[in-house]
Structure 1
Amino acid sequence: MERGSFVLGHQLTSDQLDARILNYPTITVPERKHTLNTTPVGIDRAILFDDGAYNNRDIQLIIGFEGKQSNSNIQKFLSALDTGKYIDFQMYSDPDYTYQVIRQSTGTIARPTYSDSYRELTITLSSAPYRYVEPAQTATITTNQSTLVNPTKYLAKPYIRIVGDGAITLTVNGVDYKFTNVTGSIELDSAMQNVWRINGGVMVNENAKMAIGPFPTLKPDNNTVKVSTGTATIEPRWRTL
């Protein structure tokens, strides 16, 4: 990516907005979630409970918008962020990763006295703690065992689509995930803990067709995957801090 460039939501680019990131983005390291119990008597430290998760991180940006459409393009940028859900965001400063961002803070829009057609937006975005490896490689899985290599040191929570009918077992690292009465296809998102299928463009809840238990995850290094019948496509969502 060129210096100062960015992509928001895989669609809106800095070139389309005549915009560039002016600073080297300041990105905080996410805080680990811990709970400390300080009530026990007779011990020399608080009892630590690790929640196994992280708080969001902040990304501080200064973005310059050029041209007569600068005000309009700022509004396009803000509108793309204000959807009520996380939006993918890639920056020139970290081109091999995608951040998932939302806007929670206010921003400031400044106009230098020397230009009527230039604006600078200073804003802090809230980002989900993990950043995701880009580009995301999708793997096709069959009844023959395949190996997926997680290049990071963190557990991945994949999106999986299985095509087939009837009873299907997805095996990940020797653990069986069983599905019953599959009709054409079934999809699952380990991050969202949800199972569904698409029927005529409509999402149909299929959680009852997956045996109760944890959703599949992909550990660091090698992961073995296969299906008992049909095929599966896996978007592994490799992630790191």
Structure 2
Amino acid sequence: MLKDYINSFTYNGHSSLEYGLAINSKNNVFGAPKPVIEKINIPGRGNIVYNGKTDELDNGEYSDFSKKYSCFMMLDDDNDFSIEDTARAIAGWLSKEPGYKRLDDTYEEGYFREALFESELSAQDVAAMLIGKIDLTFTCHPFKYSYAGQKVITLSQAATIYNTENFTALPYMKIYGSGTVTLYINNRAHTFKDVNGYIEVDSEQMTAYKDHTLCNNQMLTTFFPKLAAGQNDIRWSGNISRIELTPRWCSL
């Protein structure tokens, strides 16, 4: 099909092709997140770059960036087409439910980003642009996430997993067990007490919980589990039957 060879994007679960929009230009499609650099002046030495990391495994801080798609309307002669109806549908799709949503496109295959569409866009604006081209700009978080990193890895014994990206991943884990248990990732120990059946650990959100009950007070260590770039040796002590791990591999 022709649509299989047309560049497009998917936002909040809907493809631009559903609305007849295809990407005409890849200007800034890949984006360029910039590092956040803080300098401190030391008398006699000049400026130095301040590293505000609280953990050596933390990724550096990067700023959000803009990603723009220049699109055109594909007209299908076999179907009735109304600019007004299509414009209302596009404005509603992009503007409803404010907040960061998943953004995929055909340029960064195998990855998605979290993005926010925050431009003021009325149906009248869209209708006027559809006659020529329409530029749509999204504000993106700096890191993109691989599809592979969203797959659940189930561990029932000690194992080694590899982070092939160059950045530390912040995984989600569901640890099944009871009592006091300790999870080891390389040379780091993460201990949880009073586990009853299971405990869920979300390193990205920095929360531990079971169902809807917060369990951060059951963590006996400072840092949440992290998967460094390269090799990660995982083992545990205590009564753990299995661990379900979503690694969330990420890159810039």
TM range (shorter): 0.7 to 0.9
Residues 70 and 135, structure 2, Cα contact 8 Å, conserved in 1 = yes
* Among 144, 148, 156, the residue aligned to 1:131: 144
**Correspondences of 1:68-217 after superposition (within 5 Å):** 68=82, 69-79=85-95, 82-84=97-99, 86-106=100-120, 109=126, 111=128, 120-135=133-148, 136-142=150-156, 144-198=157-211, 203-217=212-226
Amino acid at match of 1:70: T
Greater percentage in strand: 1
Distance apart, 1:152 and its partner CA: 0.8
Structure 2 letter corresponding to 1:109:
V
Whether 1:49 aligns to 2:47 is no
Distance 2:115 2:233 in 1: 32
For residues 177-225 of structure 1, the C-alpha deviation after alignment (integer angstroms, 9 at most, x for no partner) is 1111122221111111111111xxxx11111111131011111111111
The corresponding residue for 2:244 is 233
For 1:72 and 1:104, locate their aligned partners in 2 and report how far apart those are by CA, in whole Å: 17
Amino acid at match of 2:199: I
3-state SS of 1:63 partner: strand
Q: Does 1:36 align with 2:52?
A: no
Q: After superposition, what is the alpha-carbon deviation per residue over 1:152-171, rounded to whole angstroms, capped at 9, x for unaligned? A: 11111111111233222222
Among the aligned pairs, what percent are the same residue? Answer: 22
Distance in 1, Cα, partners of 2:120 & 2:88: 18
Contact 2:178 2:194 in 1 (8 A): yes
TM-score w.r.t. the length of structure 1 is: 0.83
Decide whether aligned partners of structure 1 residues 224 and 236 sit closer, same or farther in structure 2, where only a CA change above 3 A counts.
Answer: same
Residue from 203, 218, 223 that aligns with 2:227: 218
Structure 1, gaps ≥5 residues long: none
Count of matched residue positions in the alignment of Structure 1 and Structure 2: 227
Q: Which segments of 5 or more consecutive residues in structure 2 lack a partner in the other structure?
A: 53-59, 75-80
Aligned counterparts of 1:165 and 1:17: Cα–Cα separation in 2: 51
Equivalents in 2 of 1:83, 1:184: separation in Å? Answer: 36
Q: Are 2:72 and 2:132, in contact at CA under 8 Å, matched by a contact in 1? A: yes
Across the aligned residues of Structure 1 and Structure 2, the Cα RMSD in angstroms comes to: 2.3
1:110 shift after superposition:
5.2
